[in-house]
Amino acid sequence: DIQMTQSPSSISVSLGDRFTITCRASQDIGNYLSWYQQKPEKSPKLMIYRATNLEDGVPSRFSGSRSGSDYSLTINSLESEDTGIYFCLQHKQYPLTFGSGTKLEIK
């Protein structure tokens, strides 16, 4: 199975700051990676697909990138509505595997 190691597990960030989350894949997943945001009592919301593509309706302050086996989600100029848990998902192969999640709070 492909392991997705996500960091950090939690972070408190000031409004307007830039923030990056990273998932490291244990084997090649060839950009088959999505980023999701989950708010309390809500279903996950797709933010980024195929590592770098912004889902329709997602603010442009969100972006995805890749460096080798490291996949990153960056939020530029953090806004209060960005709080929640973010997690990555690899769908290169089954079983699908998720990162452990990053809880983002506003400082």
Residues forming contacts to other proteins in the complex (CB under 8 A) are: 34, 36, 43-46, 49, 55, 87, 89, 91, 94-101
CB of 82 to other proteins, least distance (A): 18
62-67/70-75 β-pairing: antiparallel
List residues bridging with 56 in a β-sheet.
none
Angle at 25 between CA 22 and CA 29, to 5 degrees: 115
Nearer to other proteins, 43 or 67 (CB): 43
CB of 105 to other proteins, least distance (A): 16
Question: Rounded distance, CA 88 to CA 49, Å?
Answer: 10
CB of 1 to other proteins, least distance (A): 9
List residues bridging with 23 in a β-sheet.
6, 71
Nearer to other proteins, 17 or 21 (CB): 21
Place of tokens 């912004």: 54
Nearer to other proteins, 1 or 17 (CB): 1
Nearer to other proteins, 19 or 36 (CB): 36
CB of 18 to other proteins, least distance (A): 24
CA dihedral defined by 31, 98, 4, 55, rounded to 10 degrees?
A: 30
